Structure 1
Amino acid sequence: MSDWIGFSRSIKLDWLNKAAEIYMEEKDHRKVKFALDKYLTEKIVSKYNRRKTVNILIRIWVNVEPQHTQLRDTALNLFKIANENEKLAIHWSLVMVAYPIFRDITAIIGKLLDLQDDFTLSMVRRRIYELWGERSTLQYALNKIVRSVTEWGTVEDGSKPGDYQGKEQLCIDKKEVKLLLIRAYLVTSEKTCLRFIEVNNLDELFPFKLDLKLDDFNGSKGFSLNKMGSDVVITLQ
């Protein structure tokens, strides 16, 4: 678990889409940064807040860690042919990879929603403090991440401030997008393998209905299936 947090602004889905679209046309990160700043000028008046937002978008889609460029490039190719649900799943994959705090917070939300239909910000705060320690930057990031995933339509506001409701899972049609989510999960969890029986019920991927089958991994580039005792496990090649 990294000490670095970094997710300091709420991010709208339209902004993520725009970052991907600009990066498709222009690979130079300085030009992408300039184009995003121009796009957000009327949406975020404060130069400071706009710069922070652009930096988050750039980290997600452009300036990725060298070991993750292949995953990002796969995401970009899928984005070109994805429907709206799949675009969100693609962004989700890359945000998990770029921001470990996002992965951990969404895992907590997913676990809570597996137990009940709603959750509160205080529940998530208590659990994330146990993992990351209590600090003001974490509280700030928690608010921004929960607000972001709410605006993306994966959860909704409850009857009182700080209360949230789960929503019906989003269907993903393309097998390749589902596999991208699993790859991002394995990369960010730093697990060496994943039991197949867990694949369709990962807390971090709570917004998405995957319905993956063993055959979906057979022959899929980048994955291997192996036996571990009585379990079939999935590993990255």
Structure 2
Amino acid sequence: MSKAVVFSRPIKPEWLDKTVEIMLALQNPDDIALSINEYLSQYIKSHINIRKTREILMNIWVNVSKDEEGFRDKALKVYTFCDKSERLAVHWAMMLLAFPIFRDLCAIIGKLSDIQDEITLSQIKRRVYEVWGERSTLEHSIPKNIKTLRECGVLEQVKPGVYRVLKREVKNKDVISLLIYAVLKSRDKLYHSVWELERFKELFPFIIDVSVADLHRHDAFVLDRIGGETVVSIGKGFYDG
């Protein structure tokens, strides 16, 4: 099935924060949408762009599938008590699940940044097209995703069309578990070696430390031994409440 490209507007981290703030205050999705609209109207003049931006924010945090409601609810709880500097990582986990284009773009940037200090827009586009095909919607969507990453402070523009990754450390174990779970859930693979977790390219801006003991803390993960190495897969129950 063809994957949809819907991340068509740049998103600011403070807009994500406000979305969560509104969600914690309101229950009805229609009320949440109206409140987000009113908030965005302070920053965006076009009614069409307000709607598009609101839909992206709603798809990240509000309009999640039944299968992901438990994860979303856990993410909300973690967001409320984690350090403000680590809230971006919570949003990141939600965005990875909401938008395959965002996930794939981040994985591509992560791979490129492992082998070179500076990344060009043309390199990113070429690799995205290899995964998604040369769709007309991508020409519009890719720059919006890149601008979102710049707004989030994880990509720095060195010069037009050339970027450098800015790293940040995440220490909160619950935040790290959200990131790991989001990657595992979004990938079409039954299990991963534990040694891979800290090297997930989708998490390119985050410096994390994951141990087997950390994984044992959560029912979200199942550990096993295959071919002489410890592997991890998604479990059940941890994000149900």
Change (3 A) 1:175 1:138: same
Secondary structure of the residue that 1:80 maps to in structure 2? Answer: helix
Give me the whole-angstrom Cα distance separating, in 1, the residues matched to 2:2 and 2:78.
Answer: 29
In the TM superposition, 1:117-128 aligns within 5 A as: 117-128=117-128
> Amino acid of the residue matched to residue 60 of structure 1?
I
Deviation at 1:230, TM superposition (A): 1.8
Deviation at 1:2, TM superposition (A): 4.6
Residue in structure 2 matched with residue 161 of structure 1 by the alignment? 160
Is the CA contact (8 Å cut-off) linking 2:120 and 2:162 kept in structure 1? yes
Residue in structure 2 matched with residue 49 of structure 1 by the alignment? 49
Is the CA contact (8 Å cut-off) linking 2:221 and 2:232 kept in structure 1? yes
Residue in structure 2 matched with residue 172 of structure 1 by the alignment? 170
Is the CA contact (8 Å cut-off) linking 1:226 and 1:234 kept in structure 2? yes
Is the CA contact (8 Å cut-off) linking 1:85 and 1:171 kept in structure 2? no
Give me the whole-angstrom Cα distance separating, in 1, the residues matched to 2:195 and 2:118.
Answer: 25
Residue in structure 2 matched with residue 27 of structure 1 by the alignment? 27
Residue in structure 2 matched with residue 189 of structure 1 by the alignment? 187
Matched, 1:198 2:188: no
Give me the whole-angstrom Cα distance separating, in 1, the residues matched to 2:147 and 2:230.
Answer: 37
Residue in structure 2 matched with residue 108 of structure 1 by the alignment? 108
Count of residue pairs brought into register by the alignment: 235
Secondary structure of the residue that 1:192 maps to in structure 2? Answer: coil
Is the CA contact (8 Å cut-off) linking 2:171 and 2:209 kept in structure 1? no
> Amino acid of the residue matched to residue 106 of structure 1?
C
> Which digits, 9 at most, give the CA deviation of each residue in 1:39-62, with x for residues without a partner?
111200000000000000000000
> Which digits, 9 at most, give the CA deviation of each residue in 1:183-224, with x for residues without a partner?
000111122111101010110001111111111011312111
> Which digits, 9 at most, give the CA deviation of each residue in 1:48-103, with x for residues without a partner?
00000000000000000111111111100001012233210000000110000000
In the TM superposition, 1:141-152 aligns within 5 A as: 141-152=141-152
Is the CA contact (8 Å cut-off) linking 2:8 and 2:141 kept in structure 1? yes
Change (3 A) 1:71 1:51: same
Give me the whole-angstrom Cα distance separating, in 1, the residues matched to 2:149 and 2:38.
Answer: 24
**83-92 vs 59-68, greater mean Cα deviation:** 83-92
TM-score by length of 2: 0.95
> Which digits, 9 at most, give the CA deviation of each residue in 1:136-187, with x for residues without a partner?
21111110001101110011001x21110122x2111210110100100011
Secondary structure of the residue that 2:222 maps to in structure 1? Answer: strand
Residue in structure 2 matched with residue 85 of structure 1 by the alignment? 85
* Structure 1 residues without counterparts, runs of 5 or longer: none
> Amino acid of the residue matched to residue 215 of structure 1?
A
Correspondence for 1:213 among 211, 214, 223: 211
Give me the whole-angstrom Cα distance separating, in 2, the residues matched to 1:27 and 1:200.
Answer: 36
RMSD: 1.0
Give me the whole-angstrom Cα distance separating, in 2, the residues matched to 1:14 and 1:175.
Answer: 23
> Amino acid of the residue matched to residue 116 of structure 2?
Q
Work out the percentage of aligned pairs sharing the same amino acid. 40
Is the CA contact (8 Å cut-off) linking 1:2 and 1:100 kept in structure 2? no
Is the CA contact (8 Å cut-off) linking 2:198 and 2:208 kept in structure 1? yes
Deviation at 1:16, TM superposition (A): 0.4
Is the CA contact (8 Å cut-off) linking 1:224 and 1:235 kept in structure 2? yes
Give the 4+ runs in structure 1 shifted more than 4 A: none
TM-score by length of 1: 0.97
* Structure 2 residues without counterparts, runs of 5 or longer: 236-241
Deviation at 1:27, TM superposition (A): 1.9
> Amino acid of the residue matched to residue 36 of structure 2?
L
